[in-house]
Amino acid sequence: EVQLVETGGGLIQPGGSLRLSCAASGFLVTSNYMSWVRQAPGKGLAFISVIYNDGNTQYADSVKGRFTISRDNSKNTVFLQMKSLRAEDTAIYYCARENIPGLGMDVWGQGTTVTVSS
């Protein structure tokens, strides 16, 4: 079964760090574009970061320099390392697969919640 499972969310103080994981099953992360998308409470969807099948990465301006996307091919898992967290980073973080580049994110995880608060 094709599936994504995110873990690692939680309550963190402003300025803190957190690492999210996205474990894939039923397909290889190295053969797809893998993205992180977040949704702040009561708000819409926002692209955060992508790691391409060739390993190159892109980031939204709002997280550039603070967040790092990476993957562990042996574990078929994608990570999002988040540093210098701010209250406005509070959101549900979704991992998503783009099987054919540019043609939509066809598999999504259930999301993991990050709350940045003192």
Partner 1 sequence: EIVLTQSPGTLSLSPGERATLSCRASQSVRSSYLAWYQQKSGQAPRLLIYGAASRATGIPDRFSGSGSGTDFTLTISRLEPEDFAVYYCQQYGNSRWTFGQGTKVEIK
Residues at the contact surface with partner 1, assessed by CB under 8 A: 35, 37, 44-47, 50, 58, 60, 94, 96, 100-106, 108-111
Strand 10-12 and strand 112-116: the pairing is parallel
Query: H-type helices in the chain, by residue range?
Result: none
Residue 81 CB contacts under 8 Å (≥ 6 apart), including other chains: 17, 19, 67, 68, 69, 70
- Could you tell me the smallest distance in angstroms from the CB atom of residue 108 to partner 1? 4
d(CA 3, CA 94): 12
Of 15 and 40, the one with the shorter C-beta distance to partner 1 is 40
Of 15 and 104, the one with the shorter C-beta distance to partner 1 is 104
- Could you tell me the smallest distance in angstroms from the CB atom of residue 59 to partner 1? 8
- Could you tell me the smallest distance in angstroms from the CB atom of residue 10 to partner 1? 19
Of 6 and 89, the one with the shorter C-beta distance to partner 1 is 6
Of 1 and 118, the one with the shorter C-beta distance to partner 1 is 1
